[in-house]
Amino acid sequence: MILLVEDDVEVHEDFCWLTLGQLKQLLRYDNLVNMDSRTVLSGIQYGDGANGGGTRHDADTASIELFDRRLEGFPRNLYLSLMARDKALHRFEDIISWFTRLKANAEIQVKPIPLNEVHKWHKNEYEIYHETHHYFSVIAVEVNASTREVVSWTQPLLKHFSCGIVGFLAAPINGILHFLVEARMCPGYRDFIEMGPTVSCGEADYRMQSKIAPPFTEYFYNAEGKSVRFSAILSEEGGRFYHYQNRYMVVEIDSPDRLTVPGNYIWMTYGQLLDFIRHTNYINVEARSLISCLSFL
């Protein structure tokens, strides 16, 4: 939620007021803006008010005047991807049909089982871990904190062993920037399938070396130079994960024709991604985090 307040708000010593622009700038630095804030920022809708003040958003122009800023290059293309919705590869209704069809044809069975029946997991004095020493372990922590609801508590946390990669591939289609979205199935999702970024790969080094990485991971793992439009290491939700980080990336390629895209992927514009964030259980938390990092200013 975002609330607009008109009365004075008492600001405690561990709070401060920031502009949206300042938050967007801070997202470019590693481990400054937490997951909850990124999720809230992703829900801000720009389309209704951004086309004002004499703004030009003609796709044929090399630059765009937005308020007092000149947009060129990737910021310009991102802005057009927000505003020029009539040039999207797929209509909103077509994306709904694609997503509904995938959900209708998917099969998944999930049932709780006793912990002592989970295969290949073991425990010692301090953790529950997989016998390969990959994926993650479950640890217990004791916390003392002076600025939380209570001053001390104990809890379990998931501890991962290395950094992952979360990324969107972007490419121009019909002259408008599109993002490659995956319909991703996970047993913990409420509806089992949600729209996510192109790649969500934990333990990226291990998976790439073992050749078991998800499709398109190599575009991020080996990315360099001007193709990288955004890159920052961001921490995941600290109330559940212990020091877990992902490198969040946006990588642009010159043409989508070089890709073989499976049926559970689809190209969407920035504006369409924001449209789906308005609705519950469409865009997953990793995609929302990455969408919050996008800025045409």
Q: How confident is the model at residue 49 (pLDDT cuts 50, 70, 90)?
A: very low
Same domain, 185 and 146: no
Residue 220 tokens, joined? 């991020």
Q: Residue 58 pLDDT > 80, yes or no?
A: no
Same domain, 257 and 285: yes
Average confidence score pLDDT of the chain: 91
Cα torsion 81, 84, 85, 88 to 10°: value is: -60
Q: Is residue 150 helix, strand or coil?
A: coil
More confident site: 70 or 61: 70
Chain centroid to Cα 9, Å, comes to 31
Average pLDDT value for residue range 36-55:
72
Same domain, 174 and 248: yes
DSSP states of 28-69: TSTT-S-HHHHHHHHT---HHHHS-TT----TTSS-EEETTE
Same domain, 86 and 212: yes
Is residue 133 a part of any domain in this protein? Answer: yes
Number of domains observed in the structure of the chain: 2
Average pLDDT value for residue range 274-297:
92
pLDDT in tens, 206-254: 999 999 999 999 999 999 888 999 999 999 999 999 999 999 999 999 9
Same domain, 228 and 244: yes
Is residue 37 a part of any domain in this protein? Answer: yes
pLDDT computed for residue 60 by the predictor: 59
Same domain, 65 and 44: yes
Q: How confident is the model at residue 54 (pLDDT cuts 50, 70, 90)?
A: very low
Residues near 34 by Cβ (< 8 Å), separated by ≥ 6?
Answer: 235, 237, 238
Last residue of one domain, picked from the residues 101, 136, 159: 159
pLDDT computed for residue 61 by the predictor: 65
Same domain, 147 and 258: no
Same domain, 183 and 73: yes
Note down the domain range covering 126: 120-159
Is residue 6 a part of any domain in this protein? Answer: no
Is residue 82 a part of any domain in this protein? Answer: yes
Same domain, 125 and 93: no
Is residue 8 a part of any domain in this protein? Answer: no
Give yes or no for a contact between 270 and 45, defined as CB atoms under 8 angstroms apart: no
Is residue 150 a part of any domain in this protein? Answer: yes
Same domain, 152 and 217: no
Q: What percent of the chain has pLDDT over 90?
A: 77
